[in-house]
A and B are shown apart, each in its own frame.
Chain A
Amino acid sequence: MNKKNQINIFIVEDNKVFTQALKADIETAFMNMPLKINSFVTGETCMQKFKEEKPQVVILDYHLNSRYPDAADGIKVLDWIKKENYETNVIMLTGDDHIDIALKSFHHGASDYVVKTDSKFRKINFSLLNLFKMMEAKSNVRKYKRLAFVLFLAIAILVGGITAIQIFSSSLLK
C-alpha cells in the first residue's frame, strides 16, 4: 500500500463489539480506498499513538468512561486532538440526541456529530465520504497552488531572460 496516499483513521470507543462492527463496516464500504484503521478504548491510549501517526480522521465516542470511570470524556480528548494537530477531522459519536452535546462538540472543533441510532453506520460512512471528498479537494488546492507557483516562476524567468537579452543585445550593438 502506498503510504503517501493512505488514509489513517482512529476509532476511540470503549465498546469493543461496536468498534469491531464499525471497523469492518468502514473497510467493507470503502474497500477500494487505502485505509488504515486503529482502535483504542480510551483517549489516553489513543493520544500516545496519535502523536506518532497524526491520523487524518478520528471517530470519537462522547461517553468514554462507561468501562473505565477515570478515563477522559470525549470533549476532553477532542481538545487534546485539536491541540496536537488541528488538521485532524473528528467525528463525534454519541448515544444521546441532545442539541447541547452537538453544539459543544462543534464548538470544540468536531467536523461532524453522529447519533448512534439504528442507521448509525450508514451515517458514519456518509460523514467519512464527505470528509474524504473535502480532504481530496484540499489536496487538489495545494497541488494547484504549487503548479501555479511553478508556472509563475517559469514565466518570471522567461520574461526576465527576454528583458535581459533585449538590454544586453541593444548595448552590445552600440
Chain B
Amino acid sequence: MIKSESEKSIENVCDLNYLTEMMGGKKHLIRGIMDTFLKQVPEELQSINEAITKKDYAVIKNFAHTMKSSVSIMGITVLAPVLQEMEDLGSTSGDIEKIKKLNQKLNLICKQAIEEIEIEKYLYV
C-alpha cells in the first residue's frame, strides 16, 4: 500500500532493533546509550551549524563523519546518505548552499529522533 505524505512524516526514524539485539536486551545498557546519544547529538548539531556559518569545511567534514557512527547505532538509516554527502562536500569544500539544505534535513530528522528516544527511553528503566 502506498502511504500518503502525512503518514510518512509520522513514521519513526529510529529503529532500535539493532541496538536492542546488540545489547542482548539489557535495559540499563540501552538506556545508558540513549542518554549519551541525547546529550551528544545536540552538541554535534550545534558544532555543524556553527561550522556552516563560518564556512569551516574541515569541521563540517569531521562532524558529519563522526555522526555517522552515532546515528547508525540508533538505526537512523535515513541519515546515512545525508551525512555521507555532507562529509564529501566538506572534504572538497563544496557547495555551501547544498550543505545548508542537507543540514536542514539533518536537524529536522535528528529533532524527530531525539523526540522518539526521549519517549522510548522510559521503556528501558
Contacts and interface: CB of A to CB of B under 8 A. Distances in A.
Q: Report, as a range, how many residues of chain B touch the other chain.
A: 20 to 34
B73 A65 contact: no
B5 to A, nearest CB: 28
B72 A25 contact: no
A15 B63 contact: no
A18 B65 contact: no
Nearest to A13: B69
A69 B18 CA distance: 31
Interface of B is mostly: helix
Given A15-B69, A15-B70, A16-B36, A21 B62 contact: no
A79 B72 CA distance: 30
Contacts of B40: 15-17
Contacts of A16: 36, 40
Contacts of B23: 21, 24-25, 28
Interface in B11-56: 18-19, 22-24, 26, 29, 32-33, 36-37, 40, 47
A132 B36 CA distance: 30
B73 A21 contact: yes
Interface of A: 14-18, 20-21, 24-25, 28, 63, 65-67, 69, 95, 116, 118, 121
B33 A17 contact: yes
B101 to A, nearest CB: 22
Given A16-B40, A24-B26, A63-B65, 6 more contacts: A15-B40, A17-B33, A18-B69, A24-B33, A28-B22, A95-B68
Chain A to chain B: the 6 pairs with minimum beta-carbon distance, closest first = A66-B62, A66-B66, A17-B70, A18-B69, A24-B29, A28-B24
Contacts of A116: 68-69, 72
A17 B65 contact: no
B73 A28 contact: no
A28 B22 CA distance: 8
Nearest to B43: A67
